[in-house]
Amino acid sequence: MNFLHTMVRVKDLDASLKFYCDLLGLVEVKRKESEKGRFTLVFLAAPGQLEQAQETFSPTIELTYNWDPEEYTGGRNFGHLAFAVDDIYALCDKLQQAGVTINRPPRCGHMAFVKSPDGISIELLQKDQARLPQEPWASMPNTGSW
């Protein structure tokens, strides 16, 4: 058995691509538009897994954009997506500068949580060893839920 992808429904494809690609750094590997089905699928991969994703389309995140407006209600049973990152402080700073709320700051230098434009929890984990705690993250409180 092989893991293929996680599908996330999105309300605004442009806002989602900005978040996942421009801010988190994922790369689009495939796009499918269905006029008949009235949807767009965009498959994204982490840069470190890009070659594998281009060959097998896994592991990827599938953003599903339905052209007809629909209200999505997410359950906490979905959980979250998780990414290992090179520099958790630099990424959290970039996200915060772009207006993304850091729901669980990386106080420990190892883990943070943010949410996508559609409210999907994203866990960011520092690759290798945790960074030394530093401000403003060390004393920043949690915001909302994740």
Known binding residues are 62, 80, 123
Residue 47, helix vs strand vs coil? helix
- Kindly name the residue from 33, 71, 123, 135 that is annotated as catalytic: 123
> What six digits make up the tokens of 79?
């959980």
The annotated binding site for Zn(2+) is made up of 62, 80, 123
| CA distance readout (Å), 35 to 38, 71, 101 | 5, 21, 35
CA torsion 49-51-56-57 (nearest 10°) is 60
Buried b (16+ CB within 10 A) or exposed e, 41-57: bbbbbbeebeeebeeee
Indicate if 123 belongs to the active site.
yes
The residues annotated with a catalytic role in the active site are 123
